[in-house]
C-alpha cells in the first residue's frame, strides 16, 4: 500500500512537471532547467549581472544560472562551484569541490584577485521529506554564503541567494541587514506557487 501511494505521488509530480510552462519553455530554449527563468527575472528586477561582471555561482550544478550568466557576461569572468558534477559551459570555469572548504576559498580568492562583483547562489539542502527541517538546512546554507561574502566580495558587490520562508527567516534577514546596506526579497513568477522559496538580494557592505 505504501509503495502504491509513493508511485501515485511520483506519477502526479511527473505529470505536473511536464505541464509546467517554464519546464516546457526551458526545453524549447535549450536551458538546463526551469531555474534559468528565475535568474532572468531576478536580473531584470535588480540588474545584477553586467557584461563585465566578475561572478561566482555557488551550488551551480546542473549549470542553469551559469548558462544564463555566460550569455550576458562577455568581458568579465565566471567561476562556478558545486560538489556535484556539471557539464562544461563556454567561458565558465568550474570547480567540482565543497564551497566551504578552506582550499576552495583560496581558489576563489586566487581566481578573482579581489575583483569579485557578484555572488549568486541557488543552493538548497538535499530534501529529507520534512519541510521544516529542509527549510532550516537551506537557510543555514544562505547564512554561510552571507558570511563567506564578507571575505571575498568587493565592498560594493552584490549577493543573490535562495532561502525559504520559515521560523528562521527573520534571523537570516537580520543577519543580511547587519552586513549589507541594501537588502531586498523577491519571489520570481517562475518559482512554483507551492514553494516557500524566495530570493535575498543584497548590495554594498556596511563598514565591516
For residue 85 the three cell numbers come to 558534477
For residue 28 the three cell numbers come to 524549447
The Cα–Cα gap between 36 and 190 comes to 9
pTM over 0.75: yes
Q: How many CB atoms within 10 Å of residue 188?
A: 18
The catalytic residues are 162
For residue 2, give its domain range. Answer: 1-30
Q: How many domains does the chain have?
A: 2
Tens of pLDDT, residue by residue over 134-193, are 788 889 999 999 999 999 999 999 999 999 888 889 999 999 999 999 999 999 998 877
Query: What SS3 state is found at 99?
Result: coil
* Nearest residue to 120 via CA among 158, 93, 163: 158
Helix (H) or strand (E) segment spanning residue 102: helix 102-112
Q: Which residue has the cell 557578484?
A: 118
Same domain, 77 and 19: no
Same domain, 7 and 46: no
Same domain, 56 and 22: no
Same domain, 69 and 137: yes
CATH of the domain at 166: 3.40.50.150
Tens of pLDDT, residue by residue over 74-98, are 999 999 999 999 999 999 999 999 9
Amino acid at each position: 500500500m505504501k509503495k502504491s501511494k509513493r508511485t501515485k505521488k511520483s506519477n502526479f509530480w511527473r505529470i505536473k512537471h511536464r505541464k509546467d510552462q517554464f519546464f516546457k519553455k526551458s526545453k524549447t530554449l535549450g536551458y538546463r532547467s526551469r531555474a534559468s527563468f528565475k535568474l532572468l527575472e531576478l536580473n531584470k528586477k535588480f540588474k545584477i549581472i553586467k557584461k563585465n561582471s566578475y561572478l561566482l555561482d555557488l551550488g551551480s550544478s546542473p549549470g542553469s544560472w551559469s548558462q544564463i550568466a555566460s550569455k550576458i557576461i562577455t568581458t568579465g569572468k565566471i567561476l562556478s562551484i558545486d560538489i556535484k558534477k556539471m557539464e562544461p559551459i563556454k567561458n565558465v570555469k568550474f570547480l567540482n569541490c565543497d564551497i566551504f572548504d578552506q582550499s576552495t576559498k583560496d581558489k576563489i580568492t586566487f581566481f578573482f584577485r579581489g575583483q569579485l562583483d557578484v555572488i549568486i547562489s541557488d543552493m538548497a539542502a538535499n530534501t529529507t521529506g520534512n519541510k521544516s527541517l529542509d527549510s532550516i538546512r537551506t537557510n543555514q546554507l544562505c547564512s554561510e554564503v552571507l558570511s563567506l561574502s564578507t571575505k571575498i566580495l568587493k565592498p560594493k558587490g552584490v549577493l543573490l541567494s535562495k532561502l525559504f520562508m520559515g521560523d528562521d527567516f527573520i534571523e537570516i534577514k537580520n543577519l543580511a541587514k547587519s552586513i549589507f546596506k541594501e537588502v531586498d526579497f523577491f519571489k520570481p513568477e517562475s518559482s512554483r506557487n507551492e514553494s516557500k522559496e524566495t530570493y535575498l538580494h543584497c548590495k554594498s557592505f556596511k563598514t565591516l
